[in-house]
Amino acid sequence: MRIVFAGTPEFAVPSLHAAHAGGEIVGVYTQPDRPAGRGRGLQAAPVKRAAEALGIPVLQPETLRSVDARAALRALQPDLMVVVAYGLLLPQSVLDIPVHGCWNVHASLLPRWRGAAPIQRAIEAGDTETGVCLMQMEKGLDTGPVLLSQATPIAAEDTGGRLHDRLSMLGAEVLAEGLALLREGRLPAPRAQPDEGVTYAHKLDKAEARLDWSQPARVLADKVRAFDPWPVAEAEVADERLRIHAAEASPVAHSAMPGTVLAASRAGIDIASGDGVLRLLRVQRAGGKVITAGDYLNARRDVMPTSPITGEG
């Protein structure tokens, strides 16, 4: 089976290896090299590096909408195109080229969280379950019928990074299952997505990282988890802007203004929110390393001058 693979970030690399094991990958499409790092030199995406290590030809067109791009894809004579976090929309003229069309590995249980940031949006919304879908692609944004899916719980300690890694491996497993079934002629009939339950996972924006202390502590804690490791939540704490890498919510009642420091100890820094208290556990000062709240208080004993650091926690 001649497979064309299209993907760009680290999330897609396990699926690339699954596709490589499940057929002959005749070409890998990935985004053009982009400037990165302090020197802003061009840097290859993870999928490109993985493909080159496997000895697979790499194609990096700016668009797939041109006549030349479609001709190059057609010349590969693909039986199937597998798309995983590629970053470019595929027009119908491209979807029609492979014999079996195009499959997409998507990191949610569709139709919930169609779009660019399904992993982070699921955590931010307080979802307790998510998963991956293997979808037959069509022209709409993540609207195609589902071939296979697998669910996984979202644990209280899951961050955007941890869930990303787990779903990346789960996506590769579902893809491998789909490829095996296709080879055997036993692929399940595609299931159309229901009209009910559709939500959109809009692309993350760094401006969203700023915490609004008037929101409930539970909402703030979910945002902190969702935005770790990027864009990382941030907030004003005791007249200093901090990045918040870990926090937990408590339903403790209070009458303080949102944003007020209620307590500070080695266990954390308790901040009044619109409903409950958010305890900061790991923070980062401007230009500094990620440290525990207790280590931060060692340098900022003025945060609670009447409440010295205790041995709590």
On whether 111 is known to bind a ligand per the annotation, the reply is yes
| 116, part of any domain | yes
Residue where a domain stops, chosen among 144, 178, 201: 201
What is the per-residue pLDDT for 304?
A: 63
How many domains does one find in the chain? 2
Q: pLDDT for 270-309, tens place per residue?
A: 999 999 999 999 999 999 999 999 999 998 877 763 333 3
On whether 179 is known to bind a ligand per the annotation, the reply is no
Looking at the fold, whether 274 and 181 belong to one and the same domain comes out as no
Contacts of 231 (CB under 8 A, 6+ apart): 204, 205, 206, 208, 209
Q: pLDDT for 156-192, tens place per residue?
A: 999 999 999 999 999 999 999 999 999 999 999 999 9
Looking at the fold, whether 20 and 122 belong to one and the same domain comes out as yes
What is the per-residue pLDDT for 38?
A: 72
Residue where a domain stops, chosen among 151, 173, 201: 201
The domain that holds 212 is classified in CATH as 3.10.25.10
| 16, part of any domain | yes
Looking at the fold, whether 150 and 249 belong to one and the same domain comes out as no
Looking at the fold, whether 121 and 67 belong to one and the same domain comes out as yes
Residue where a domain stops, chosen among 135, 169, 201: 201
On whether 108 is known to bind a ligand per the annotation, the reply is yes
Hey, what amino acid is at 97? I
Q: Which residues of the chain have pLDDT under 70?
A: 304-313
Residue whose pair of structure tokens reads 């644990």 in the numeric block: 155
| 306, part of any domain | no
C-alpha span between 89 and 63 (Å, rounded): 9
Domain limits at 39? 2-201
- Smallest CA-to-CA distance from 176 within 31, 57, 1 is with 1
Helix (H, G, I), strand (E, B) or coil at 146: strand
Looking at the fold, whether 151 and 213 belong to one and the same domain comes out as no
Looking at the fold, whether 251 and 271 belong to one and the same domain comes out as yes
Helix (H, G, I), strand (E, B) or coil at 90: coil
Looking at the fold, whether 97 and 153 belong to one and the same domain comes out as yes
Looking at the fold, whether 147 and 23 belong to one and the same domain comes out as yes
| 307, part of any domain | no
